[in-house]
């Protein structure tokens, strides 16, 4: 059987009602720029649940963009996937992001990005990521 890896997470951006439309539009444009068919390891538009642009009463203060995909052993090319994801993050407004990588062989890894100050602005660069590894061993 092939090794399956599951990647999922979310990108959070605090809404600022003075410039909220611009932030939301910029983030959507960044995700719409992703390819529908990508080279391995893929990071494609279809992975993302892109929220509606309109501001409604269902959103409180944080816009949450979630994503997920199933891969065949993506952990072997994880640095390439992370590079693509960080390029996406660098083109967006965000306050925090989290990616969970579940692998059959090495357990669960959680990667988090926290912006400094009042949030990340497009083009500001990505400076630090924190990784937490949780090994789940079901073998007796």
Q: What is the structure's pLDDT at 20?
A: 65
Long-range Cβ contacts of 49-58 (<8 Å, 24+ apart):
51/24, 53/21, 53/24, 53/25, 53/28, 55/15, 55/17, 55/20, 55/21, 55/24
Q: What is the structure's pLDDT at 140?
A: 38
Q: What is the structure's pLDDT at 55?
A: 58
Tens digit of pLDDT at every position of the chain (140 positions)? 578 999 999 999 876 655 667 888 899 999 999 999 878 888 999 999 987 766 555 556 788 999 999 999 999 999 999 999 999 999 999 999 999 999 988 889 999 998 877 788 899 888 777 766 665 554 43
Q: What is the structure's pLDDT at 67?
A: 97
130-134: strand order across its sheet: 48-49, 62-72, 4-14, 96-103, 107-114, 130-134
Q: What is the structure's pLDDT at 138?
A: 47
């Amino acid at each position: 059987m092939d090794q399956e890896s599951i990647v999922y997470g979310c990108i959070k951006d605090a809404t600022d009602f003075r410039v909220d439309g611009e932030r939301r539009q910029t983030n959507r444009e960044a995700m719409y720029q992703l390819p529908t068919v990508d080279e391995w390891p893929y990071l494609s538009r279809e992975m993302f649940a892109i929220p509606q642009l309109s501001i409604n009463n269902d959103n409180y203060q944080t816009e949450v963009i979630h994503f997920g995909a199933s891969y065949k052993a993506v952990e072997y090319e994880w640095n390439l996937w992370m590079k693509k994801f960080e390029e996406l993050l660098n083109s967006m407004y965000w306050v925090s992001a989290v990616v969970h990588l579940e692998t059959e062989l090495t357990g669960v890894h959680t990667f988090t990005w926290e912006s400094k100050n009042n949030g990340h602005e497009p083009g500001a660069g990505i400076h630090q990521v924190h990784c937490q590894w949780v090994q789940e061993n079901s073998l007796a």
